Amino acid sequence: MELSSLLHDLHLLSSEKPLPPSPLPPITELLARLTEKLIGASSDSDTSSLIGRVERLFQTADPDWLFSLTSVNEEEEEGEEEEELQAAYRSLLSALIGCADLPLCEDDSSPAPAAYQSVPSRAVPVCSVLRALLGALGRRGGAGLLLRVAPPVCVFAVTHFQDQLWTSPPSRAAAQSLQEALLRAGGWRDSAHLLVGEGGAGGGILTGVLDVLQPQLTKDSWQRCVAVKLVFSWTLLQLARPSLSPHLTRLLPPPLLFNDHYRPENCMLGVRCLHHIILNTPAADLRQFNRADVIYQALFKHLYTTETTVIQLALSCLLDLLLVLEKPPSLLDPASSRRKPCRHDDVLRLVLVHMEAETNVALRRVYASVLPLLVDRMGVAVCRHLQRVERVVLGYLEVRDPPEETSRLKVLEVLQRTTRAAWPRMTRPRLHRLLSRLLQLLLDVSSDSRLHVSVRDKLMRDATLSVQLLHACSPGDAQSVLLQVDSSCCSPEVLGCLATVTMTTER
């Protein structure tokens, strides 16, 4: 009865003849009329009513009729009939999804939250009707049609199951249920299997998803829809080796666009996407066509920003990218003529320059956290930066960083690694300056009641180890500094540390 009523409303069935024996019209004709009705609906109530009837159509109609080849021309090729049916369903899907479209951004500014208020209530019935369609497809088993309708359904589900301004708990639950229905309909295990199939050998919808997103991922249009970047990043993060590399040509440009944007949240998204690409793409593929160099330039410029989170992500990404671009200086033959300044030097130099002048506590911690690894990568080549490293160490040891003392602990680690790698360059003046600051640190820390016991103990141990390493570089010069310590002004704890240094040297 529901089908008969719908066909009468759409003028696809004569009201003078009962059903049956009147034959059902071609499904493509019905889909085209439904698409016209959805696009031309004059009010939300009309749209909601029509969506409800489409859902009941998919729930009750015979799947053999819903997905049958509809041409009556016997000479028409079967492939053309299939294409016509798929195009009709894609048009209907576009109209249905358009009923829950997000408002577009204008003048590079996001719509106010109030602009999204009606989106969740419109998305829920669309999710419901798409689930009904997938259920009918599952009963019928049309693999070709499923692969055509799956990409826009997937994009719609991902848009609405994320916790964003345009979603609500009911709409997120409906979208998540839609995604699960899509996986069931195609027998896919998870989202990665959905996108790339079995081991990347085919049967996935990644190309279709990128085709859906591509018109909105251009330089001039990606900022107009706030959801497109999130859907793209979700898609990218589902991919891993070896599935990502074959699609690198299409997957790399959007993160570069995000990375170049002036808003920190877009920069961070771009850096995360680029980092995922670096970690999941063979080095040879990244070096091909100078891709790695392009990524390096895009990331390096973030080291000039003052956004803590952006710098932290950019430095982490750069450290992994540098291993793609070149061997760390520490792994090169010391006698090799190839040991000349490289990108590792450029990054370390800029980090040290910024550390010297930085007063922001959060940024100091970010720089200090990455410095030990950079120094370790440099090996003996850190000698090229020894003056700057010394100034940074002296400056950071002087300033407290409560409550965890992250900066001072990391700088002590830097000093230890530098001393081990560049001990022949620890000249007497440099040795005296560093030892004096370390002794002052021991005195300050031993008398600082504000420090947690575990933090104080860690600082004392690391400072003592640093003194031992410097003492080993030149015992005579170091001893002259240690003998200047007035034991009457030192706590027993400091005296014990200095005694440890002396005993270690004597052995």
Read off the DSSP letter of residue 74: T
Which amino acid is residue 49, in one-letter code? S
**Contacting residues for 406 by C-beta, under 8 A, at least 6 apart:** 365, 368, 369
Single pTM value for the model: 0.90
Predicted local confidence at residue 20, as pLDDT:
47
pLDDT at 19: 43
pLDDT (0 to 100) of residue 131: 95
- Residue 17 has a pLDDT of 46
What pLDDT is stored for residue 507 in this prediction?
Answer: 41
Give Cβ neighbours of residue 10 (< 8 Å, ≥ 6 apart): 30, 33, 34, 37
Residue 279: per-residue pLDDT? 97
Beta bridge pairs of residue 339: none
In the predicted model, residues of the chain with pLDDT beneath 70 are 1-3, 6, 9-23, 69-79, 107-112, 141, 199-202, 334-339, 480-490, 496-499, 501-507
* pLDDT given for residue 336 in this prediction: 60
Q: What pLDDT score was predicted for residue 12?
A: 60
pLDDT of residue 21: 47
Euclidean distance between CA atoms 402 and 447, whole angstroms = 15
pLDDT at residue 482 in the model: 67
3 state SS of 197: strand
Give how far Cα 464 sits from Cα of 293, 340, 440, 445, 455, Å: 42, 34, 12, 12, 14
Strand partners, 109: 106
Residue 101: CB partners within 8 Å, gap ≥ 6?
none
pLDDT, position 2: 63
